[in-house]
Amino acid sequence: MATKTKENISVKDAMDNLAAIVSIDLNAPGPIGIWKDSRLVVDEEEFRGTDLYWLSGEGAEAVLEILDATFRALTGHLEKLAKGPEMDWDNEKQLQEVAAIIALAGESAVKMERYLALRMDRQVEKIQQRPDFQALQECYTRYFLQKLDKEEVFEGGDEILTDVETVRRDGDYELFYIRKEDGTPYFNKQVVSRMRLSCDFESVSDTFEEDPLLQVRAMTDRDLQASAKQILGDCHTGIVEFYKIYAKHSDNQLASSLSMAVTALLLAGNTRNLLQNSAKKSCLQYFSDFHRFLRRAMKTPEYQKWIAYAPEKTEKMPHTLLHLTHALCDSFFHRLGGIKQESIGLIHRTMRRGNEKGKAAPKKGDGLWTQVSCDDENFRSFLGQFPNGPLFKIIDLIREEEEEDQIVPFDPIGQENFPGRLYELEASGRKIELLRIPSPTRQSSINKAELLDEFRGFLRSYQVARPHRRHLMIHLQDRFSWKEACRCKILESVQKNIEFSTAFGLLTLPKNSHFYHQNFEFLNCNKAMEFLNAFAQQIEHPLESGYFLPDSFSKEELKQFSNEALPLIHRCFFEEKAALTQRNREDFIELFYHLLILKLIDKLQLDSVSFTCKDAVDTGAALNASFFALVKMLGEDFADKKDLDQFRWLLYTPALFIRERAIDAEKFNRMLSCLEQFSLALEQDSKRVFKELETLYSKSFLKTLRVAPTARD
């Protein structure tokens, strides 16, 4: 460049620079330019007719200089704000503005690293390690951390969803369903108008006929047709017994609702009602009817009365109705579906088409995880060419609310994000089912949520089994987040409820804390012993750190396990290095989570496990896939095509079918890094690693642990 970056830039230019970086589409990264030595430009239209310096592959340093100046400007602004009389520490809006600056700075740092790697083929040092970024973090920690850690300051604040790009990223889409305490939304009318304009533009894509998402609805229809047949088969005996007495009790509201639920199941299971065979009501719609009638059944006075006051054993009718209700709930959560191979085929075709467009291709000799990473990039790049699924889904939601003149609550299971069975584990002669369960809650207000009746029915089916069964929910929502705290409290209360205490356990793993992300006060925790001590402190105070433990696994047991597991992980997977990079530390935390989950499976004698976040689409899916891969690597080779296909199916299907997009890139990359670290240690000395890991568990647990894929299709 002919000119030098200005030493100081304005706060407005600094914020504009961060906004420009965040707006970059990494699926199709365009050029970046500099205007007046201080502004980063990614949209030529905005500055048409002015003098711009467009950067080539050698321009990374110029960009980084402006980014450094941006961080310096923001640091000066926050220091002045913190020390000045105009700062009102009780003002929610001012605190939100600070939070937005910090979040935007962190997001822009990560995105710029990826941009430089993709567009300019330059691997740069982590931007978060640069002195000016660290100075900004230090300023935040010194003046604002304690205030902003009090999550309640955000409640009832201004609109959160204010731009179309936020909606595209789909991270907080639940806030389109949930209202503030005063009933107002978390989005404004302007963003809705911009979304509609964007949807009008995107709907005329030149490659629309190639869109892989056009196949999703028909495939989901076939999946639920198979599920309906499976549920009918599972509940056949209960259905037969029910219809023996139904004629005499058809005026009973519970019996009437159950009859409608079974009828809807029969219609959902009929191939004549598949989308491909009928222009009328589809199997998917009939399956949704079944779910709605099942919910209605559990709201009836008869059901509520018999749950509160158990009928006498001699009363056949109530027991018949209760048995069928709970059997339907149990089978609903254990449904298998029937399109696994078809889904895998769609994933492969999408990856292949992305590769044909000239995207990433692994070099000969590169390892498995490089292949997985390249395939993921191809998958994303091809999906990125088509209309944005999340954008259209939110427009459909807003249209539905306008037409019905009522608020649609956040109810993932009630919005066709149905639970199901994925695969089975075997260990020490016991079978454990891995279930996919979105948060079984319904929420219309940020401060009010309720547990779904069908989930209660699922747990009641476990209680009447002989012997009693037990489900462990690996819970991944943030109990300290204003957005998720209410749902967390509801699920924690289930374990405390004496009715469900024997059938249900909850393990919450913090997946959004400063420690988990190794940022802010933990950013420079590079010394291994310092990191291990910080980790031990997290375990010492589990509730305060974001953990929530099952009743049958005490705080003392967690501490004892961590005392053994933490040095073991350091020894086996990091060669007892004196210094650990930020990526090392992130991998370390993920590995500990996996080993802790195995510990609970070993100790608690479980029948089923689920990885549950708000919707089991990103965080839950990533952990589900990585846990599957880790168990496969422990017990046998993970090189077979069928294993890799199962891994991809677990990873990509939820986001693709539920939100019509790829899994969140950050969750994917962190999962992949953990598996790569685990795989590397096994390659170096698998016998030693396995022998050390055995000391954490009961005798023969790891030796008998294996994945037994569930039969489908």
Q: For 81-104, what is the mean pLDDT?
A: 76
SS3 (DSSP) at 107: helix
pLDDT in tens, 144-196: 776 654 433 333 334 566 666 777 788 899 999 999 988 999 887 667 766 66
Q: How far is CA 559 from CA 342, 509, 544, 554, in A?
A: 45, 15, 14, 9
Of the residues 416, 435, 467, the one at which a domain ends: 416
The mean predicted confidence, pLDDT, of the chain is 87
Could you tell me if residue 427 is inside a domain?
yes
Give yes or no: residues 122 and 66 share one domain: yes
Give residue 211's pLDDT. 72
CB distance 267 to 273 below 8 Å:
yes
Residue 187, beta-bridge partner list: 161
Torsion of CA 683, 688, 689, 693, to 10 degrees: 160
Flag whether 48 is in a domain: yes
* Minimum mean pLDDT range among 60-64, 289-293, 379-383, 438-442: 60-64
Q: Are residues 613 and 501 in the same domain?
A: yes
> What is the rounded CA–CA span in Å between residue 558 and residue 323?
38
Q: How many domains does the chain have?
A: 4
CB-CB contact of 381 with 359 (8 Å): yes
Statement to judge: residues 485 and 422 lie in one domain? yes
Residues 630 and 603 in one domain: yes
Structural domain range at position 125: 11-154
Residue 225 falls within a domain, yes or no? yes
Amino acid at 587: D
The SS3 of residue 480 is coil
Write the pLDDT tens digit of every residue in 15-64. Answer: 888 888 877 766 666 777 787 777 887 765 444 445 566 665 545 778 88
pLDDT at 95: 72
Q: What is the mean pLDDT of residues 209-220?
A: 81
For 399-463, the three-class secondary structure string (H helix, E strand, C coil) is HHHHHHCCCCCECCHHHCCCCEEEEEEEECCEEEEEEECCCCEEEEECCEEEECHHHHHHHHHHH
Q: Does 601 map to a domain?
A: yes
Percent of the chain with pLDDT over 70: 86
**505 belongs to a structural domain:** yes
The average pLDDT across 88-114 equals 76
Q: Which whole number is the average pLDDT over 631-660?
A: 92
User: Distance (Å, rounded) from C-alpha 596 to C-alpha 602?
Assistant: 10
Buried b (16+ CB within 10 A) or exposed e, 610-642: bbbbbbbbbbbbbbbbbbbbbbbbbbeebeeee
Predicted pLDDT at 160: 62
315 and 402 co-located in one domain:
no
Q: 124 and 169, same structural domain? A: no
Residues 68 and 16 in one domain: yes
Pair 692, 646 in one domain: yes
Are 167 and 116 found together in one domain?
A: no
Between CA 435 and CA 608 the distance in angstroms is 7
492 and 450 within one domain: yes
Tell me, yes or no, if the pTM score tops 0.85. no
Specify the pLDDT at position 619.
Answer: 97
H-helix segments, 503-654: 514-517, 528-540, 542-545, 555-574, 582-604, 619-635, 641-654
Instruction: Please check whether residues 149 and 164 belong to one and the same domain.
Output: no
Which of 136, 154, 172 represents a domain boundary (last residue)? 154
Whether 636 and 589 map to the same domain: the answer is yes
Q: What is the predicted pLDDT for the residue at 622?
A: 98
621 near 665, Cβ under 8 Å? no
In a domain, 361, yes or no: no
